[in-house]
A and B are shown apart, each in its own frame.
Chain A
Amino acid sequence: AQSVTQPDIHITVSEGASLELRCNYSYGATPYLFWYVQSPGQGLQLLLKYFSGDTLVQGIKGFEAEFKRSQSSFNLRKPSVHWSDAAEYFCAVVKLGGFKTIFGAGTRLFVKA
């Protein structure tokens, strides 16, 4: 079955520290890959996406993600976290030729001073 796994329910990092959020997917072929962020009470915002080509993709707000085919992973990174990055982060996939976006369960990021 197609699935997206975010193994960390929540992560706490200190402001200024680096961040990595993990995402693994299970698909027959490489799907389109996305990361979204959701602040409390808000809709989701697209951070970045991978379709093909360069496996390191840059997104908004200083985020980047690396696609690793051999590990079926698409981990999100940021070199220095700001307090405003505290939010819920969702990894998501879309099967090529499909409409449906499959979301992971989400990782809640807490940032401490």
Chain B
Amino acid sequence: DTEVTQTPKHLVMGMTNKKSLKCEQHMGHRAMYWYKQKAKKPPELMFVYSYEKLSINESVPSRFSPECPNSSLLNLHLHALQPEDSALYLCASSQETRGRGRSNYGYTFGSGTRLTVV
């Protein structure tokens, strides 16, 4: 299995709703990522998990809450979002090496969740 699966593909939510985005991979990758992408822009890093621990939080507002229940799953919990949070949310995974220093050797991306906040 060489895929990253994201659900749902589309999500419309109100500003008072709580929803979750899900991401799953079975490639044995120990680094997982959430990216946000606005139209005609490159992806922006939000969070990095390494070996199920939060490694990087790019100063993301607390209305976004990541969770990594196990090495195959990554969730992004959403609460009280704003219309400007509407975007394509991408999950990615990569191999990671410890010891000589962490790095990634290229991402495998999911196809994303298109989020619209109304």
Chain A: residues with CB nearer than 8 A to chain B?
Answer: 32, 34, 36, 41-46, 49, 51, 90, 94, 96-101, 103-106
Distance (Å) between the CB of B6 and the closest chain A CB? 8
Cβ-defined contact, A101 with B105, below 8 A = no
B31 A103 Cβ-Cβ under 8 A: no
**B102 close to A (CB within 8 Å):** yes
Q: Pick 16 A–B contacts, CB within 8 A, sort by A.
A: A32-B105, A34-B106, A41-B88, A41-B114, A43-B6, A43-B109, A44-B107, A44-B109, A46-B106, A46-B107, A96-B103, A99-B31, A103-B42, A105-B41, A105-B42, A106-B40
Q: In the complex, A100→B55 CA distance in Å?
A: 11
Pair B90/A98 contact, Cβ less than 8 Å: no
Given contacts A32-B104, A90-B43, A106-B41, 19 further A-B contacts (CB under 8 A): A41-B88, A42-B111, A43-B92, A46-B107, A49-B105, A97-B101, A98-B102, A99-B48, A99-B50, A99-B56, A99-B102, A99-B104, A100-B48, A100-B56, A101-B104, A104-B42, A105-B42, A106-B40, A106-B42
Contact of B102 among A36, A43, A51, A97 (CB under 8 A): A97
Say whether A43 contacts B112, CB under 8 Å: yes
Q: How many residues of B contact A (CB 8 A)?
A: 30
| Alpha-carbon gap, A91 to B6, bound state (A) | 24
Compute how far the CA of A45 lies from the CA of B100 in the bound complex, rounded to whole angstroms: 27
Q: Roughly how many angstroms separate A109 CA and B100 CA in the complex, as a whole number? A: 38
What's the least CB distance linking B89 to chain A, in Å? 10
Instruction: Check if B72 is an interface residue, CB within 8 A of chain A.
Output: no
The answer, yes or no, to whether B108 is at the interface (CB within 8 Å) is: yes
Q: How far, in whole Å, are A36 and B94 apart by their CA atoms in the complex? A: 14
User: Are A42 and B106 CB-contacts (below 8 A) given A99-B56, A103-B43, A106-B42?
Assistant: no
